[in-house]
A and B are shown apart, each in its own frame.
Chain A
Amino acid sequence: MKKIVIFILICTNILFAFSAKDLQALREDGYCTQCDLSYADLRGIDLAMSDLSDTNLSHANLNDTLAHKADFSHSDLSYATFENSNIKGANFTDANLKNVNFFEARIWKGNFTNSHIDKCNFNESALGSAIFENNNLKNSTFKDAILYKTIYKQNVIGIPK
């Protein structure tokens, strides 16, 4: 019985890892900096031009989200998912992008300068005119991604062909 209670407590903790207050603030104000939105389900929220800098968004679900020109700089997006999202012009500068799923996302003009990219799935995404600078792209996949006029600046390792 004790084990079951502990298990439920752990599950509850995982399910509600984000701060409800922060999520409410994001819904009402359209921005939330230095917030805890880890594990949050942000599908369907209009995040266009939102300031989500320096925010914990690890494991967050951002699938099918409209978040063009959103600011994710200095945020932790590890294990977050952006499948089929519109994140054109989004700023990922200095963000933690470990194991992020960008499958079929529209990331035209996205800025990935100095972001920690590791094992990301960019398959079938649109990365035209996106900026990569000081990144390691070796462990990420770019199958069938649009790399039209993608910009690779200094210190980019593993540029996709």
Chain B
Amino acid sequence: MKYLVLIFVLAISLISSEIKFEHNFDKALQKAKNQHKEVMMMYSAVWCPECRYMKEIVFKNKKVNSYIQKHFIVLSKDIDKDKLPSGFKYIGIPTFFFISKSGKEKGRIIGGGKADKFLVKLRTIK
């Protein structure tokens, strides 16, 4: 019984440390306002290996993960399924748009990269 509780607690802590992806722009913006954060909108595709690398490796990096969770609500948009909100343009994927509380773009990162380098870029945005 003791072990079961321990496993349950560990599982919960693992789940809670995963970045939760929002899919609706307005909802993400509202959530960001409520939590005093900004929106990081990732424009990606299932078939894009660089995007998968970011989601599967970089976002799971401890430092990157905690930095993102602390400062951003992550909105995920798929190039094949979703249109970008008006006013947002891209030249390649993955592109990370950083959106202020007023809904305007305040910066962007084009392309992914290793966790340490991505974190440096994130820090220059916020």
Contact = CB atoms under 8 A, between A and B. Distances in A.
Nearest to B57: A148
A68 B92 contact: yes
A70 interface: no
Interface size class of A (residues with CB under 8 A): 10 to 19
Contact of B49 (A86, A124, A128, A144): A128
B114 A106 contact: no
Given A126-B113, A144-B114, A106 B50 contact: yes
A106 B111 contact: yes
Nearest to A128: B49
B30 to A, nearest CB: 34
Q: Interface majority SS on B: helix, strand, loop or mixed? A: loop
Interface in B16-47: none
A131 to B, nearest CB: 12
Contacts of B92: 68, 86, 88
Contacts of B8: none
Contacts of A128: 49-50, 53
B102 to A, nearest CB: 31
A146 interface: yes
A68 B92 CA distance: 10
Contacts, number: 27
A128 B58 CA distance: 13
A148 B111 contact: no
Interface residues of B, number: 9
B114 A146 contact: yes
Interface string B86-102: 00000010000000000
B95 to A, nearest CB: 12
A108 B114 contact: no
Interface in A145-161: 146, 148-149
A128 B10 CA distance: 31
B91 to A, nearest CB: 8
A86 B111 contact: yes
Contacts of A129: 49
A105 B53 CA distance: 16
A18 B114 CA distance: 36
Q: Which of A88, A129, A148 has the most chain B CB within a 10 Å cutoff? A: A148
Interface of B: 49-50, 53, 57, 92, 111-114
7 contacts: A68-B92, A106-B50, A108-B50, A128-B49, A128-B53, A148-B57, A149-B49
